[in-house]
Amino acid sequence: MRESSAAKRRAGIRPLTSPIGLVIVAADRLFGEALGVLLGREQGIRIAGTAATGMDALAVVTAVKPDVVLLDPRLAEMNYLDVVHGITQQAPSAKVLLLVAHTDSAEICRALKAGARGYVAKEAGLLAVTEAIRGIHARDMWVGGADTPADGSLTAREREILRLLATGGTNRQIAEALFISEKTVKTHLHHIFRKLNVTRRLQAVVHAVRLGSGLL
């Protein structure tokens, strides 16, 4: 006789959850397929499909409606921002996770505005990529494992600094643009990091996009 779900809960037995449906998009087909083999061995992850071009990615995502799309931005025939936007239109529930070689704040900011939900660096390794896939599936965003930020109220000056930070500006460039000292910029950044509950510049930019409300 099969036990009911209620009986299993009373006995402390947790019901099995569906695995995370994952689509991998990488221009290097061999890399994408190899990554698929490795990630497919991870508990709770199911490879729903792979694609090597933007058009193929949109077709696969439309067909299988995955939970997460792991996207290498280096696509040859189509701008990856258009692919991100297309995915969000074709499969709104799919969360796009960028697999990046370089954490360029301005570029990642553009991707997030297009609809991506987070990023993970290639150099971080397989364990970090696996954690990011699980993390972005469970949360709204994924920023290298950072906790969801406090919705701190930023001042007008802090918003200006954050906007310049999102363009890739250094402390010196921000100081020159706003006619303030670098020391003042550092002080403002300290306050911004504290209010957004982050520790790195890129995390602040990503969370600013998440919080929206005209921050950027």
pLDDT of 211: 60
Q: Dump pLDDT digits (tens) for 1-21.
A: 444 444 444 444 444 478 999
pLDDT of 212: 57
3-state SS, residue 142: strand
Rounded to the nearest angstrom, the gap between the alpha carbon of residue 156 and the centroid of all alpha carbons in its chain is 27
pLDDT of 216: 52
Q: Which two tokens stand for residue 128?
A: 């970090």
Q: Dump pLDDT digits (tens) for 135-162.
A: 999 987 787 654 444 555 788 898 889 8
- Residue 208: name the closest of 122, 141, 120, 133 by CA: 141
CATH class, range 156-211: mainly alpha
Q: Can you tell me the distance from the alpha carbon of 119 to that of 95, in angstroms, rounded to the nearest whole number?
A: 11
Query: For 54-58, what is the mean pLDDT?
Result: 96
- Residue 83: name the closest of 103, 57, 105 by CA: 57
Name the band, by pLDDT with cuts 50, 70 and 90, for residue 87.
Answer: very high
Q: Dump pLDDT digits (tens) for 162-214.
A: 888 877 788 999 999 999 999 999 999 999 888 887 778 877 877 767 665 45
Within this chain, domains 20-143 and 156-211 share the same CATH topology: no
> What does the domain layout of the chain look like in residue ranges?
20-143, 156-211
* Strand (E) or helix (H) holding 208: helix 201-211
CATH class, range 20-143: alpha beta
Q: Dump pLDDT digits (tens) for 93-120.
A: 999 999 998 777 778 888 888 899 988 9
Q: Can you tell me the distance from the alpha carbon of 136 to that of 80, in angstroms, rounded to the nearest whole number?
A: 19
